[in-house]
Structure 1
Amino acid sequence: MFMTKKIGVVIVAAGSGSRFGDPIPKQYHMLGGKSLVAHCIENFARHTAPDLIQVVYNPAHQDLYDAATNTLDGICTLPAPTAGGETRQQSVLNGLRALAGQNPDVVLIHDAARPGISDDVIARVIAALDTHSGAIPTLAVADTIKQADDSGVITRTIPRESLHRAQTPQGFHFATILDAHEKFEGQEFTDDAALLETLGLDVVCVEGTTNNDKITRRDDMDRAQDWVNTTQKEVSRMSQEEYRAGTGFDVHRFAPGDHCILCGVKVPHTARLEGHSDADVGLHTLTDAILGAIGAGDIGQHFPPSDMQWKGAASDIFLKHAADLVRKRGGRIVNADVTLICERPKIGPHTQAMREKVAEILEIDVDRVNVKATTTERLGFTGREEGIAAQAAVSVALPIN
């Protein structure tokens, strides 16, 4: 759960779902044993307190709502749903007003017809609100876009490079979006971000996912069922895994040179790191952490300094070897965290490139890799700028035998 912000959530579930072609609105249909709206509520309950989740519904659907949310009994207790309006925009405003007494810092506005919202997308929207007035998940448009006149004749091809498909949750600073909705009450916009765009406020796009596409028609439920099946298989697989933690520590002294290799990235400096290989202290300590997690000794046992074939070798060889040992055991690297300890060179400008390089070597998502730096306040050998130290922690999932 994110504790630095008080996060409110408005889940819009007041629509009739006329395009879905069923007398029961789509938000109350079952998917993997739970209603669409229940999927949404459970996903957001992992990121905020249940009393900050406000569902907006049609009171005529009270029985459907009660039945659809009964799977939440004992999991989370929500405030009473609030009635929607004639339009989606009015429904959102009603939800925001119902949340106002809770004084959230930010709010996420989500369509109940998007049950596939993931933790990663929610986290990206929340994080983007540190520096922007609003944030929305989007997907790049892959198809060629044609504009046509009323008779269907193409009038032009629209460049797709800057085009994005908008999803939800759309996140905003609470006071800002409430003020915008009240200012434009009675007018109609295509989504919540459009209100801030009209006011000249910045709304940033973050990466969405195809699982988060809106369920509009019947055949969309088949796609959503595929997502549920995949998720359930993942949960089943995880229940048959055990998690291991490993740590690593390494030190290399400085020698004459003009750059260091750190976490696979060439960093300009007034010295290089001395070692039998390329002396990448970051990758060495991470290699040791992975080997430790699976009980496979240390880097020196696998790549002895006495063996001249490793003289000047790129350290990604060592890290790939450790990752391959995990895969050969049917396991996976869950995450990796590296801390570089030095006064200089400055690591901050290079951490993103380092994360991407480590993720590439380990063949995992970059959001599972963290690289950071600290100093020893001018104390010790790193404080005297005699070398660099590094420590790492990893978690590894291995199948239970």
Structure 2
Amino acid sequence: MNAEHAEQLWEQKDAPSSADGPHPWALLLAAGRGSRMAAATGGTSKQFLLWKNAPLYWHSALTFSRSGVVAGIVFVFPPDALARCEAEVRALDVRHPLGLPWKAVGGGVERDDSVRNGLAALPATVRHLLIHDAARPFVSARLVRAVRASLAEGAEAVIPALPVTDTIKMVEGDRVLSTLPRHQLAAVQTPQGFVRAALEAAHAARVAELAGGRARPVTDDAMLMEGAGHTVRVVPGEKTNCKITTVEDMALLSPPPFLQPRTGMGYDVHRYAPDPAAPKARPMKLGGVAIDKAPAVLAHSDGDVLLHALCDALLGCACLGDIGEHFPDADERFDNISSAVLLDQVLTRVRRAGVRPCHADMTIVAQRPRLAAHKEAIRANVARLLRLPPEAVNVKATTEERLGFTGREEGIKAYAVVSALFRPPVADDAGDAHVC
């Protein structure tokens, strides 16, 4: 539905109504120049930054259109870009239909001027309106409905607000003048709702004040209504209804990080030493726990077959190769080194790769020694080494019914499976700018 159709339609009949009153129109302010962020956006005003393949102002428009309580929208754009912006809205409306009539008008030098231009463009039958900053693209339909509901209940002006949690002080230069009563303070958001006739009268009074050179600074339309003696009602705001104001706020436009599941498998085997005093014979350790009355194992490191399998599983989650690549057995630095030290280094490398282990399941295969009495100690120590709760680690032990080299008591082997979450790097397109 284009602007011309909108004007014909809404001048011919009243705006839709429901049991609790007429539906308001939304006035979407997108005429600001965004000078504070110009260096970061290449001179593009923040309301035209692309987010999810659409300019910021369009996300608010879609939310208003999906709220079920808005009858139409007036877009207020920079006057020198009005024709291009109107053409863009028309194209966006084809791709993602608003399902509402809309108009586009040029703004003014100041915010007040833009609001007055928007008011003048409203169909004559509109009684209530919602005014919203286009740089708040995260507004919810719930909040739109809450503001509208308060208007329908008879309020002349409505603002969403959040309680202030910081201590606020009035300062002059580097000197504190006073501490303000925090329980009486609120951080105000948009959309703000108004009775049209009352707001137009408040704006007319401000124009007269400006002409007389006695007008005070005004930061929102609710302040005008306060000055005109109207009661401004408050509804709960939303923490997520942030305004893109500073360069740091642009991080909110980055794609949210998402986690990918990863699974790594590890396997290792060690031969039993024929003589505990033989070169490279190591007392048996499993999961960092010394196993008494067990065969010694032949190994370059301390021979902890379970931790070696666990290292390989972790490296598999991060696609970082295997333990032999990182700690070769020809390197004398690793002679008789604790496998717990190797595991800690592997964990560091895995975490740097964006992988967070969350579960480990391990199986030790040996004809001897019997390991039932050691499993809980192994489980607790592995959980400690992995920095996981014990309930996220499982240890199993089995024999191979006298089959194979383990069945012949020639050695021991272990399997490990690690589950992890991977946070892939994302392209930050928050700075991608767009001019309509």
Q: Residue in 1 aligned with 2:318?
A: none
Q: Residue in 2 aligned with 1:145?
A: 168
Is residue 72 from structure 1 mapped to residue 101 from structure 2 by the alignment?
no
* More displaced 10-residue stretch of structure 1: 58-67 or 34-43: 58-67
Tell me the CA shift for residue 100 of structure 1.
Answer: 4.2
Are the counterparts in 2 of residues 37 and 68 from structure 1 also a CA contact under 8 Å? Answer: no
**Deviation per residue, 1:364-389 (Å, 9 max, x gap):** xxxxxxxxxxxxxxxxxxxxxxxxxx
Pair 166,49 (structure 1): closer, same or farther in 2 beyond 3 Å: closer
Is residue 17 from structure 1 mapped to residue 34 from structure 2 by the alignment?
yes
Alignment partner of 1:184: what SS? helix
Tell me the CA shift for residue 134 of structure 1.
Answer: 0.8
- Structure 1's consecutive aligned runs of 4 or more residues displaced over 4 angstroms after TM superposition are 48-51
Pair 99,68 (structure 1): closer, same or farther in 2 beyond 3 Å: closer
For 1:60 and 1:42, locate their aligned partners in 2 and report how far apart those are by CA, in whole Å: 24
The number of residue pairs the alignment matches comes to 228
**Deviation per residue, 1:150-170 (Å, 9 max, x gap):** 3x1112211111100111111
Q: Residue in 2 aligned with 1:108?
A: 130
Q: Residue in 1 aligned with 2:224?
A: 195
**Deviation per residue, 1:82-135 (Å, 9 max, x gap):** 11111101110110111043x212100011101111011111111111132111
Tell me the CA shift for residue 180 of structure 1.
Answer: 1.4
Q: Residue in 2 aligned with 1:205?
A: 234
Tell me the CA shift for residue 190 of structure 1.
Answer: 1.3
Q: Residue in 2 aligned with 1:304?
A: none
Tell me the CA shift for residue 148 of structure 1.
Answer: 1.5
Q: How does 1:160-179 map to 2 (within 5 A)?
A: 160-179=182-201
**Deviation per residue, 1:292-342 (Å, 9 max, x gap):** xxxxxxxxxxxxxxxxxxxxxxxxxxxxxxxxxxxxxxxxxxxxxxxxxxx
**Deviation per residue, 1:139-187 (Å, 9 max, x gap):** 111111112123x111221111110011111101111112211221244
Are the counterparts in 2 of residues 116 and 224 from structure 1 also a CA contact under 8 Å? Answer: no
**Deviation per residue, 1:235-287 (Å, 9 max, x gap):** xxxxxxxxxxxxxxxxxxxxxxxxxxxxxxxxxxxxxxxxxxxxxxxxxxxxx
Tell me the CA shift for residue 68 of structure 1.
Answer: 6.3
Are the counterparts in 2 of residues 38 and 69 from structure 1 also a CA contact under 8 Å? Answer: no
Tell me the CA shift for residue 73 of structure 1.
Answer: 1.4
Is residue 90 from structure 1 mapped to residue 113 from structure 2 by the alignment?
yes
Pair 51,170 (structure 1): closer, same or farther in 2 beyond 3 Å: closer
Q: How does 1:374-389 map to 2 (within 5 A)?
A: none
Alignment partner of 1:213: what SS? coil
Q: Which has the larger radius of gyration?
A: 2
For 1:138 and 1:65, locate their aligned partners in 2 and report how far apart those are by CA, in whole Å: 32
Are the counterparts in 1 of residues 73 and 103 from structure 2 also a CA contact under 8 Å? Answer: no
Tell me the CA shift for residue 199 of structure 1.
Answer: 1.6
Pair 219,64 (structure 1): closer, same or farther in 2 beyond 3 Å: farther
* TM-score (ref. length: structure 1): 0.53
Choose the corresponding residue for 1:61, options 76, 81, 93.
81
For 1:198 and 1:26, locate their aligned partners in 2 and report how far apart those are by CA, in whole Å: 30
Which letter does structure 1 place at the counterpart of 2:26?
Answer: V
Which letter does structure 1 place at the counterpart of 2:227?
Answer: T
Q: Residue in 2 aligned with 1:302?
A: none
Are the counterparts in 2 of residues 136 and 193 from structure 1 also a CA contact under 8 Å? Answer: yes
Q: Residue in 2 aligned with 1:135?
A: 158
Pair 122,47 (structure 1): closer, same or farther in 2 beyond 3 Å: same
Q: Residue in 2 aligned with 1:120?
A: 142
Tell me the CA shift for residue 26 of structure 1.
Answer: 0.8
Pair 80,128 (structure 1): closer, same or farther in 2 beyond 3 Å: closer
Tell me the CA shift for residue 61 of structure 1.
Answer: 2.1
Q: Residue in 1 aligned with 2:359?
A: none
Tell me the CA shift for residue 47 of structure 1.
Answer: 3.6
Tell me the CA shift for residue 59 of structure 1.
Answer: 2.6
For 1:161 and 1:2, locate their aligned partners in 2 and report how far apart those are by CA, in whole Å: 37
Q: Residue in 2 aligned with 1:215?
A: 244
Alignment partner of 1:73: what SS? helix
Instruction: Calculate the aligned-residue CA RMSD, in Å.
Output: 2.5
Alignment partner of 2:59: what SS? helix
Tell me the CA shift for residue 191 of structure 1.
Answer: 0.6
For 1:49 and 1:207, locate their aligned partners in 2 and report how far apart those are by CA, in whole Å: 18
Is residue 52 from structure 1 mapped to residue 72 from structure 2 by the alignment?
yes
For 2:192 and 2:123, locate their aligned partners in 1 and report how far apart those are by CA, in whole Å: 17
Which letter does structure 1 place at the counterpart of 2:73?
Answer: I
Tell me the CA shift for residue 224 of structure 1.
Answer: 4.0
Which letter does structure 1 place at the counterpart of 2:76?
Answer: V
Pair 107,80 (structure 1): closer, same or farther in 2 beyond 3 Å: closer
* More displaced 10-residue stretch of structure 1: 9-18 or 78-87: 78-87
Choose the corresponding residue for 1:181, options 203, 214, 235.
203
Are the counterparts in 1 of residues 86 and 104 from structure 2 also a CA contact under 8 Å? Answer: no
For 2:134 and 2:90, locate their aligned partners in 1 and report how far apart those are by CA, in whole Å: 12
Which letter does structure 2 place at the counterpart of 1:223?
Answer: L
Name structure 1 gaps, 5 residues minimum.
234-401
Q: How does 1:234-383 map to 2 (within 5 A)?
A: none
Alignment partner of 1:10: what SS? strand
Which letter does structure 1 place at the counterpart of 2:56?
Answer: L
Tell me the CA shift for residue 50 of structure 1.
Answer: 7.7
For 1:69 and 1:140, locate their aligned partners in 2 and report how far apart those are by CA, in whole Å: 39
Alignment partner of 2:75: what SS? strand
Q: Residue in 1 aligned with 2:329?
A: none
Pair 194,50 (structure 1): closer, same or farther in 2 beyond 3 Å: closer
For 1:168 and 1:138, locate their aligned partners in 2 and report how far apart those are by CA, in whole Å: 9
